[in-house]
Structure 1
Amino acid sequence: MISTEALAPLRGENWKKANRRLTGKMLQEFLYENIIQAETETKKGEDRYRFQVELGGAVYTFEVIKRLFNSFHVFEETIEKEKAGNKLPVLAQDLLLELQQTAPISSETASHLIKEYYHTLAADCHLLDKTTTAADMAEMDYAELEGEMNGHPWITYNKGRIGFSYADYLDYAPEQQQPVRLFWLAVHHTAASFQTAGGWNEERLLEHELTREEREHFRRIVQQAGADPRGYYFMPVHTWQWEHQIISLYADYLADQRLIPLDFSRDEYLPQQSIRTFVNRTNRHKHHVKLPISILNTLVYRGLPSERTLIAPDVTEWVQDIREEDEFLRDICDIGLLGEIGSIDVAHDRFHSLPGAPYSYLELLGTVWRESIYEALKDEEHPMTLAALLHQDAAGRPLAQELIERSGLAPKDWIEALCRAILPPLLHYLYKYGTVFSPHGQNAIVVLKQNIPQRLIMKDFVDDVNISDQPLPELSFVPEQLKTVLRREPPQGLVQFIFTGLFICHFRYLADLLDVKGLLDEKTFWQQAAQTISSYEDQFPELSERFKLFDLFQPTMTKLCLNRNRMLEDGYREGDDRPHAAEHGQVENPLSACHHPGFVE
């Protein structure tokens, strides 16, 4: 039974504030994705406008600043709503229902969206109760800081988590910062595939993750079940996944002892922003663990795709080999790559033999072991995800501002250091090797020293490494087993991973935040980014043809949309592959504009 105390964050004051914030975000991102349009706009100052939007008979008025990338900053405190001359409360779900009257959103889709918005609002109420200051966060441990985040900055239903009950939310959501223990299973060799890389093997991996007593305890359980432990792999599973999916859907595996339930291991873990990745809090030098949880959050179910789980260690060896053989990446950039050094996949024999089965049924049971962030650090280095730089505390003070002031650098110089730390290694992998990571806020980790950005660490290769479809000689060395699984993208598609994944999905918000807080003009921010790219290109004139092929300075790019996908295109139907961002129109590229005199005023 959920206690009354656990419901306390849902009080009226928080509910109203969460609704206003979410409504502001919806208006802002729906304007960007051309889901809504301003009926009228009135200039309120040098760069401030008052917009009016009519939806389903309701009229919303609010103030905005027009931003680069054809984007906007909506001032949530200015939102007013009227209908038939009456002032009405600002509620996110009502905005959606009003939008549905004019946009092609089915009632089925609208119902699921309302559910996701309710879940998001409930989580936002909990976040509003947090009292952690920006000063506190500047000193927080990497894993602890992840529990302070607000979620995806662009997707409006960013904490939908369909499949979680409220009790599950309290137990497993990262912002609850509740330590969990992992349940372990024994899976027969005939039912699973176990892969390792980097000198690891099954025995060494288990010795690293489990004590001798735990390993012996697990072996005894298998023996007591009348089976031989030598014929089994040991793997952890998330408790929610075990109870909600595995027991029922793998019942025949349990019946014939292809699966044998074991016990909880002793270590405690903290869930990270992705929900399915866990950092060991008992011993932080042990591996991070990525586990499937079949809940729908943002655009996808949070499972582990079988085909990518199988090749995860091979992808690790390949991207790390590139780094080790390239002096620029290894010595100059000093990029860190958190290797996925072990994986186990238990494909469901019925679902995997069914042509066109929904993808969530192909991602049910597996484990990926990733190198610990703490093993990749040097003395005095402090890591945090890029997502953390967008965070503001309850008083509205950004963590980025706290870090800048502590560093002693001017904001412009701090952003220059950030761009130098992040962009060159990403550009080098793209231009020289036709390979991209997905450098969004969760995957990209900035390493600070004395609060100044120093270098980049990347993670999550199993889902987010992609290669060019062009016949580049550097790609002739890609192992055959990777070519059949890694996404091969045309040049424009490959560029989008940096342009949209980093610039639009992260830098767009950071530039806006610094500008609104009076720290750095938005145009100056993008000038710094453009200068970093130009400086890289000056270092490698031999790659000039690649700069044209993968052109980050082109005047416009295809606009990718994350809210439009769910709301107007795919809805909630589930195909045999994960959904991708929707394409809609073009977006102006401020990096191109940087080449014109007068861009920086």
Structure 2
Amino acid sequence: MIFTPAIVLPPARRTAPAATDFTLRRFDPGTDAALLHGWVNTERARYWGMIGTTVPEVRAAYEQLDGSAHHHVLLGLLPAPRGAAEPEPMFLLEHYAPEHSALAGRYAHRHGDTGMHLLLAGPGDGKALPGFSAAAMEAALAHLFADPAVLRIVVEPDAANTAVHSLNSRLGFRPAGRIELPGGDDTPAKTALLSICTRADFAAATARPASAAVHLSPGRWENANRHLLAKAIAEFTHERLLAPVPADGGWSVGTGTHTYRFSATVHALEHWVIDPDSLEATVNGEPAAPDAAAFVLAFRDTLGMPDAQLPVYLEEITSTLASHCYKQLHSTASAAELAAGTGDAVADFQRTEAAMTEGHPCFVANNGRLGLGATGYLDHAPETGAALALQWIAAHGSRASYSTLPGLDVETLLQDELGARQLARFRARIAEACAASGLDPEDFVLIPVHPWQWEHKLSVGFAGDVASGHLVHLGAGADLYQPQQSIRTFFNRSAPTRHYVKTALSVLNMGFMRGLSAAYMEGTPAINAWLTGIFANDAELARGNVGLLREIAAVGYANPLYEAAGPDAPQRKMLAALWRESPAGSIAPGQQLATMASLLHVDSAGASLAAAHIRRSGLAATDWLARYFDAYLVPLVHCLCRYDLAFMPHGENVILVLEDSVPVKVLHKDLAEEVAVLGDRQPLPPQVERIRAAVPDAERRLVVFTDIVDCFLRFLAPLLAREGICSEDRFWDTAARSLRDYRDRHPETAAAFDALDLFAADFELSCLNRLQLRNNAQMLDLTDQSGGLIYAGTLANPLAGAGAETRPGPPSGGPGQPPPSVPLRPDDAQTLLCACRLARSNG
């Protein structure tokens, strides 16, 4: 809340001060309570809610605030007036964490929010000065925004306090709606007008420099470069593009004038973990700052970067570094805190979604998002925890169509997602637009659109359709959505049991323009219905530990202009959407939700979320892992053996359901675009036929080895080993035992299981970064993904020979168990070097 009584100043002051004249110090309840008592006990301060209090009561209230880690109180001071010895207190500033206040759960909180209360000084001698309130307010806001972690300031003055609403508006606050706030020990209940001031709004209101990129600082930039450079060397070595050599007790890679030295441990699957702090770079023998982009430039020939791809890849690297700077500043929750949660499963699910710092574990340039500006990043990147309203468009039925699961009609879907009143408003706007275009309002269908997509692509690239009336912009929907790690998928924060919405977003990220094919949308529900039937009628899949988040409806728009431009035109994927089931309504009380990608999250202290969940569960590590593999790994292998069915089961596509941090169920999503039936043995309905893929039998096992073992479990095993949770041998033994147990209870698929050769000595190394380096505009031809893969020899299989019987060794799961990983010995290096040379000679 903000209170602004008429300000009167001593005779010595006849002009209002500037915001820069104020200084701030901590409020001391012991010495300052009497001063504040005089301020709050006036009729003009009634909105502060402390009229009638005594000095001891004021002191007690502020002693309680002073002891809170989430609430801070300051005094704003002006220099001592003529004849006075001490600076003069002129306002009280309280700032607090909204998520730990009465605002929690009552508005769309996001990272970087800070709540503020401001109380201006009480009456004195002299004449009130116009402009004083604004100067004091500006000083308070400038002080808060001086902290780079503060991105928005939230206030909740009484809705009846019209004077302060006007002042708020002058300083950049925008109303965000009325909310009902309960009373506290010292404050009455009230109807508040929630208002929010962003950095950009404050800068515009006060003619200050904008600071949307305030997270970019020298220290964070160096940390980001060390982090990404360590990852780049590790992943390029894993893909055998680089070959580190022993050097001074550590390792070294070099090319031309550039040399990089570092310490590392090497794990199963030739997985390198490089200590970022150990990195030392030299150029022409002179020390240089670690620089990920300079590294790419230096090694461009070694990496095989085509000239046409290099500038875009450098831009993706720089964007990834910038996002890491943001994450350093704002991802502050510990792994233990995220694992424990708050008891609100949905809020905790989305808190974890926004807390993750890494992106895809394999890709080096994994946060490119080329096309988003600085403000667009803050509004749309998943790590910001932003909440936004989707835009809605009405599209003429001659160019757009819906498809739904059997039994679901479009009107029911829209009623459920929008509500009757909002849907009626949209229908009225369509009728109004048709009065000018002459088109029939009954012929229009509704499409949700990413707000960035409407502003930057559709309103420009589809301008002809807008002008002709075939596209009608209806405005923003009422619900607020949070971007998920996949950036173009949204979770409904206003009504969590409503569906996810996936939209097209024409930004370049990790080798693909994130469009959405209107043609693919047509068959989406049919594919989901077919998958639902398989899962419902298969005893292994119906055990209750695996399920699907079905895509129940889809809509796509075919722009005649771009349809005529050819099948590969990215503009054909600019306007489409689908609705996917939310997990929020299907979990039992006490259960938690978390994207599987979060298991690999490491907090600022180096602790992983996976280890935190295992510790919290109270289970031995191998017991926890056995339940995880039984829900994640085994059903995927069964689908492949029984139905030739392959998922894309990376961390973003899998939602974990946990009870007391124990995985009890896995939910798969992103089905229609990313599932495939391999080969022609499995009969498919005609409308599902497009998911059939011609894949050589020898590549079938890579569905397990590449997508699961190399691209996810390779990272999880060393994390647990490093924290002493479970040795790598025990990790892979547990995985292998789960697979052998599956084979034993399913003799009918034993032949197909054995054909995968999952316990073979080695498997082919399929390289993801090489795909992005080759063509970062489109890594693969989606019509022939198998034909575009790049291999680099083979990897030793950690499942080989494991699981038949328990290996001798110390028990796992104890937090004191030392990690088994040790630095790679120099005499082991020759094996890696030979393999790297072989891989290069084989292309």
Q: TM-score range by the shorter chain?
A: over 0.9
Query: Where do residues 469-484 of structure 1 align in structure 2 (5 Å cutoff)?
Result: 469-471=679-681, 475-476=682-683, 478-484=684-690
Task: Choose which of 313, 319, 325 in structure 1 pairs with 2:537.
Answer: 325
Please tell me whether the aligned partners of residues 527 and 687 of structure 2 are also in contact (alpha carbons under 8 angstroms). no
Distance 1:127 1:512, change over 3 A: same
Residue range with higher mean Cα deviation, 386-395 or 287-296 = 386-395
Quote the Cα distance in structure 2 between the aligned partners of 1:479 and 1:159.
Answer: 38
- How far off its partner does 1:572 sit? 3.7
- After TM superposition, the structure 1 = structure 2 runs for residues 258-337 of structure 1, keeping only pairs within 5 Å, are 258-330=470-542, 332-337=543-548
What TM-score, normalized to structure 1? 0.93
Classify 1:598/1:134 alpha carbon distance in 2 versus 1 (closer, same or farther; 3 Å).
closer
Distance 1:145 1:559 in 2: 31
C-alpha distance in 1 between matches for 2:804 and 2:639: 28
Offset of residue 536 of structure 1: 0.3
Structure 1 residue corresponding to 2:775, chosen from 562, 570, 581: 570
Q: Are 2:592 and 1:354 equivalent residues in the alignment? A: no
Q: How many residues align?
A: 588
Aligned to 2:790: 582
Supply the AA of the counterpart residue of 2:270: N
Distance 1:436 1:574 in 2: 20
Among 375, 381, 388, which residue is 2:591 paired with? 381
Does structure 2 conserve the Cα–Cα contact (< 8 Å) formed by 1:443 and 1:459? yes
Which shows bigger deviation, 396-405 or 261-270?
396-405
1:145 aligns with 2:352: yes
The residue correspondences of 1:395-410 to structure 2 (distance < 5 A) are 395-410=605-620
SS in 2 for 1:294: coil
Instruction: Report if the CA contact (8 A) 2:628-2:664 is conserved.
Output: yes
Q: Residue 212 of structure 2: SS of its match in structure 1?
A: helix
AA of the residue aligned to 2:246 = E
SS at match of 1:190: coil
Q: 2:646 maps to what in 1?
A: 436
Per the alignment, residue 308 of structure 2 pairs with 108
Superposed displacement of residue 70, structure 1:
2.4
Q: Is the 8 A contact 2:241 2:302 kept in 1?
A: no
Confirm whether residue 529 of structure 1 aligns to residue 735 of structure 2: yes
Q: 2:771–2:779: 8 Å Cα contact kept in structure 1?
A: no
Map of 1:47 onto structure 2: none
Q: 1:573 to 1:518 in 2, by over 3 A?
A: closer
Q: 1:162 to 1:435 in 2, by over 3 A?
A: same
Shift of 1:343: 0.2
Cα distance 1:582–1:307, how it changes in 2: closer, same or farther (>3 A)?
farther
Q: Which residue of 1 is the match for residue 225 of structure 2? A: 19
Superposed CA RMSD in Å reads 2.1
- Looking at structure 2, the residues matched to 230 and 559 of structure 1 have their Cα atoms a distance apart, in angstroms, of 54
Aligned to 2:267: 67
Q: Which residue of 2 aligns with 1:132?
A: 333
> TM-score, length-normalised on structure 2?
0.67
Name the residue aligned to 2:556. Answer: 345
Aligned partners of 2:212 and 2:375 also within 8 Å:
no
**Of residues 239, 243, 247 in structure 1, which corresponds to 2:455?**
243
Counterpart of 2:794 in structure 1: which amino acid? Q
Q: Deviations over 1:403-441 (max 9, x none)?
A: 111111122222222112212221221111111211110
* TM-superposed deviation, 1:165: 1.1
SS of 2:648 mapped into structure 1: coil
Between 1:277-286 and 1:433-442, the stretch displaced more is 433-442
Q: Residue 348 of structure 2 aligns to which amino acid in structure 1?
A: D
2: distance between equivalents of 1:293 and 1:230?
28
The secondary structure found in structure 2 opposite 1:243 is helix
Opposite residue 172 of structure 1, the aligned amino acid is: H
The SS at the match of 1:379 is: coil
What is the aligned-residue identity percentage?
31
Deviation at 1:317, TM superposition (A): 0.4
Give the Cα–Cα distance (whole angstroms) in 2 for the partners of residues 153 and 65 of structure 1: 17
Task: Choose from 197, 204, 212 the match for 2:420.
Answer: 212
Shift in Å at residue 539 of structure 1?
0.5
Task: State whether residues 212 and 374 of structure 2, in contact with CA within 8 Å, keep that contact through their aligned partners in structure 1.
Answer: no
How many angstroms apart in 1 are the aligned matches of 2:647 and 2:701?
Answer: 11
Conserved in 2, the CA contact under 8 Å of 1:346 and 1:366?
Answer: yes
Q: 1:228 aligns with which of 403, 426, 440?
A: 440
Change (3 A) 1:493 1:362: farther
Alpha carbons of 1:56 and 1:134: their partners in 2 closer, same or farther (altered >3 Å)?
Answer: same
1:544 equivalenced with 2:755 (yes/no): no
Partner Cα distance (1:5, 1:514) in 2: 39
Contact 1:527/1:600 (8 A) holds in 2: no
Distance 1:573 1:429 in 2: 28
- Displacement after TM superposition at 1:329 (Å): 1.2
* Secondary structure of the corresponding residue to residue 129 of structure 1: helix
State the Cα distance separating 1:593 from its structure 2 match. 4.1
Say which is worse superposed, 298-307 or 337-346, in terms of deviation: 298-307
Question: Counterpart of 1:465?
Answer: 675
Partner SS state of residue 267, structure 1: coil
Deviation per residue, 1:425-472 (Å, 9 max, x gap): 21221111111211110111221111111121110112211102042x
Contact 2:740 2:804 in 1 (8 A): no
Aligned partner letter, 1:546: A
Between the aligned partners of 1:551 and 1:278, the Cα distance in structure 2 is 39
- Which is worse superposed, 112-121 or 65-74? 65-74
Give, in whole Å, the separation in 1 of the partners of 2:633 and 2:691.
Answer: 26
Q: CA deviation at 1:497?
A: 2.5
Q: Which 5+ residue runs of structure 2 have no aligned equivalent?
A: 1-199, 204-208, 342-346, 810-843
Amino acid paired to 1:91? D
**Residues 181 and 486 (structure 1), Cα distance of their counterparts in 2 relative to 1, 3 Å cut:** farther
In structure 2, distance between residues paired with 1:515 and 1:418: 17
Q: 1:100 to 1:564 in 2, by over 3 A?
A: same
2:758 partner SS = coil
**Range with greater deviation from structure 2 (524-533 or 70-79):** 70-79
Measured in 2, the distance between the counterparts of 1:490 and 1:496 equals 11
Question: 1:28 and 2:28 equivalent?
Answer: no
C-alpha distance in structure 2 between counterparts of 1:584 and 1:152, whole Å: 20
Kindly indicate whether residue 285 of structure 2 is the aligned counterpart of residue 85 of structure 1: yes
Deviation at 1:55, TM superposition (A): 2.0
**Deviation, structure 1 residue 230:** 1.6
> Matches of residues 150-189 of structure 1 in structure 2 within 5 Å?
150=357, 151-189=359-397
Deviation at 1:249, TM superposition (A): 2.1
Whole-angstrom distance in 1 between the partners of 2:596 and 2:409: 32
Gaps of 5+ in 1: 45-49
What are the Cα deviations for residues 118-151 of structure 1, in whole angstroms up to 9, with x where unaligned?
1111100000012112133121522232111121
The one of 476, 493, 505 aligned to 2:699: 493
Q: Can you list the C-alpha shifts for 1:89-137, whole angstroms capped at 9, x where unaligned?
A: 1111111111025443233322111111111111000000121121331
Partner of 1:252: 464
In structure 2, the residue matched to 1:364 is: 574
Q: 1:322 to 1:259 in 2, by over 3 A?
A: same
